[in-house]
Structure 1
C-alpha cells in the first residue's frame, strides 16, 4: 500500500480534533509535520512530531503528499494554492474559501495540476444525517415539504478569538455544513433569503443567522444562533407520509476533543434517538435508532482517491456550490431580499 505523507497547516480545534486524530487512524496515512507557532501545544498531543515554523518549510519536505489546510479562513486560498503549486494534493477545512472567486481559482489550479482538491464537509458522515438520508431514500417520510436544520449554541459572552470575529458569523462558520447537507439531499435551490443579526452585547460579528432555501416543492430552513439556552433541536423534517425530529449533536467531535482516538465499531454511535411519526402506519410516534456515523469513511475514501482507487469523497465542485449559496445569502442579508440562484 502506498504510504501517504500528510502535512497539517494549523493546530487549532480543527487540526487537533478533526484532522490529526483521523490521519493517525487511517491505514496508509502518516502525519509528517504540523505548521504551528506553538510547538509545545503540538507536542503535548503528538510527542516527537516535526513542527514546521511556516508553510514554505512544510512544502519543502519531499515526503508530504497531502496538505491539510486548517488555518484561519482568510488564509485558505493562499495556503491551498501554494500547496497545489508545490504539487501536493489538498484537503481544505470549511469554509472552502472566503469568496467564490477564490474557490474557483483553487478548483482550476487543482484540475490544471491533476491534483486532488477536497473539502472537509465531514458532517455528511454524522449519525443523524445518515439516518435522515436513509429515511428519505426508502420513502418513509414520503415527499419532503419542510426541512429545518439547526446548529445552535449557548455562548452568551463572545470569546476573544478570530472565529468570533468572522464577518458573517455563523453563516461562514456553521453555514457550510448546513448548506452542504441540504444540497446533498435536495440539490440546488431556486433562491435564498437570509437574515443575519448580532444579539450579544459587544459582539464583534453576527451571532444569529436564519436562511430559507426555496425549492419548487419544499422549504429548507437553516438556522444557527449563539443565544439559545435550549439548543438540543438538530433536525425537524416533515414529509407527505411522516415527520422525523432529532435532538442532540453527533458525538464524534466531542470524543476527539476529549482526546479519544477514532477507533472501534461503535465510534460514531449516537445514543440520542430521533422521533419518527408516520400517522398511516398505525404505530404512532416512536423512537428511531440512528444509523452509525463515521468520519473515518471520509478519510478512507480520500486515501483511496489519492491512490487512484476511487472518487474524491467531496470534490471541489461541492465546495463551489456551497460558496454560491453563502455569497447569495450574504447579498440577501445586505439587501433585505430574496436572491435568485
Structure 2
C-alpha cells in the first residue's frame, strides 16, 4: 500500500524519544523520522543515521519539510514548546502530562484550532495490553453495573530520580502529573468525567520535594474509582480491581512493551505486545446464569496503533486517538485533586 509519509521530528532524545516515539515512527512506513532536537549530542543520529540533528528549536521550526513535531521535553516546558510549534504551523503531539494548568491547555487548544493544526496528547497507556483487556471486559458487560474500581501504579523504589527536573518543585512535576496522568486518563476513558473528587497527596521518599504518593477518589453516580500510586509497595496488589453487580475482574499490570523497547526489540515483530501466560486476568462472574471463575486471555498491547490513528487524522481527517480536550480533562482532575488535598475536602465538579 502506498503512503505519503509524514516527516516527523522529536524535541528531545531522552527516554521518551528513544523508547516511546522513535521506534514506532521509524518502523512505520506512514512516517519518516526526519529530525531530532539535541543541543549538544548526536545520539539519535548514531541510532538512525539518516535523521537530521537540530541544535535549536528555532532551527527545527524553520524547516519547512517537517509536518509533525512531538513535544517530549520535560513537562514544565510543554506549554512553551507547544505554543511555538503550533505558531510555526506544525501538527503536534504533546507528551503527557499535556500542560501544567488547564489555562495553558485551553490556550493551546484554541491556538491549534485557529491555525488549523492537529493537536494530540500522547496517552500511550490506552494501548497497554492490560488496559485493553480491562476495557474489553467492561465493553462485553461481563461484570454488570460497576460498583467499585481501583487502579494502581505501584512500585518499590525509595531512591530519587537521577533526572533533576523530575525531583524539583516546579509546575507539572511529581507522580500525580507523571503516573497519575495515565491512571486518570484510563478512568476518564472508561467512565467519563466524575461528579466529585477527593485526594490525599504526600511525599514519602526520604528527601523527596515532590508528590510521590497519591490516593485519588473519583465519584460517579453509581460507583467510585480509586487511583493509587506509591513508591513503597514491595508486594503489589493487582493493578486493576473491578467489582460489578455480576462479578469481579482482577488484572496485573502485565504490558511488556516498555521493557521490550528498552531492550531495543523491534515493534514490528509478529509477537509484539503479547503478555506472558502468567499475567492473565482473573474473571469471577455470572455468565449466562452460570457462575464462572477463570483466567482469560489478554489483548495484545501496541503503541503503534496510536501512530496509525495519527496518520489517519492528518492525511484522511479521521478522529484523533487522543484530543487536546481529553488531555485538558486529565489536567482538570489533577488541579482539583491538588485543591482537595489542600482543603482536606471533597471537591464537587
How high is the TM-score relative to the length of structure 1?
0.96
Aligned residues: 341
Q: How does 1:18-57 map to 2 (within 5 A)?
A: 18-57=20-59
- C-alpha separation between the residues in 2 aligned to 1:237 and 1:179? 15
Give distance in 1, aligned partners of 2:196 and 2:217: 8
Render the CA deviation track for 1:229-280: whole Å, top value 9, x for unaligned.
1236210010011111011331111111111121123211122101111156
Farther-moved stretch of structure 1 (219-228 vs 158-167): 158-167
Give the superposition deviation at 1:166.
5.5
Kindly indicate whether residue 332 of structure 2 is the aligned counterpart of residue 324 of structure 1: yes
**Does residue 315 of structure 1 match 2:315?**
no
Q: Aligned residue for 2:166?
A: 163
1:231 corresponds to = 236
CA pair 41-204 structure 1, distance change in 2 beyond 3 A: farther
The secondary structure found in structure 2 opposite 1:62 is coil
Deviation per residue, 1:271-302 (Å, 9 max, x gap): 21011111565454211111111111110010
Q: Is the 8 Å Cα contact of residues 130 and 252 (structure 2) preserved in structure 1?
A: no
Separation in 2 of the partners of 1:249 and 1:50?
36
Deviations 1:30-65 (A, max 9, x none): 011111234243234323422211111111111100
In structure 2, the residue matched to 1:4 is 6
Distance 2:308 2:124 in 1: 12
Structure 1 window deviating more from structure 2 (228-237 vs 172-181): it is 228-237
Cα-to-partner distance string for 1:122-168 (whole Å, 9 max, x where unaligned): 11111111111111111111011111111111111112322233555
Give the counterpart of 1:277 among 284, 296, 303.
284
Matches of residues 39-188 of structure 1 in structure 2 within 5 Å?
Answer: 39-161=41-163, 162-165=165-168, 169-188=174-193
What is the deviation of 1:78? 0.9
Is the Cα–Cα contact under 8 Å of residues 67 and 89 in structure 1 kept in the other structure?
yes
Instruction: Return the TM-score normalized by structure 2.
Output: 0.94
The superposition leaves residues 188-243 of structure 1 with CA deviations (integer Å, 9 ceiling, x where unpaired) of: 10011111111111112121011000111001000111111123621001001111
- 8 Å Cα contact 1:232-1:249 kept in structure 2: no
User: 8 Å contact 1:74–1:98 — kept in the other structure?
Assistant: yes
1:289 to 287, 297, 309: 297
- Answer yes or no: is the 8 Å Cα contact 1:246–1:274 preserved in 2: yes
Secondary structure of the corresponding residue to residue 209 of structure 2: coil
Would you say the 8 A contact 1:192–1:214 is kept in 2? yes
Unaligned runs of 5+ in 2: none
Counterparts of 1:219 and 1:23 in 2: how far apart (Å)? 38
- Aligned-residue CA RMSD (Å): 1.5
Q: Does 1:204 align with 2:204?
A: no
Q: CA deviation at 1:336?
A: 1.2
Report SS of the residue matched to 1:118.
Answer: strand
139-148 or 303-312: bigger deviation: 303-312
Q: Which moved more, 1:81-90 or 1:29-38?
A: 29-38
Q: Partners of 2:10 and 2:196 in 1: how far apart? A: 37
Contact kept in structure 2, 1:152 and 1:225, CA below 8 Å = yes
Query: 2:256 aligned with 1:251, yes or no?
Result: yes
Shift of 1:15: 1.0
Instruction: Note the alpha carbon deviations across 1:90-133, whole angstroms, 9 max, x for none.
Output: 00000000111100111000000110000001111111111111
Query: For the Cα contact (< 8 Å) 1:166–1:172, is it kept in 2?
Result: no
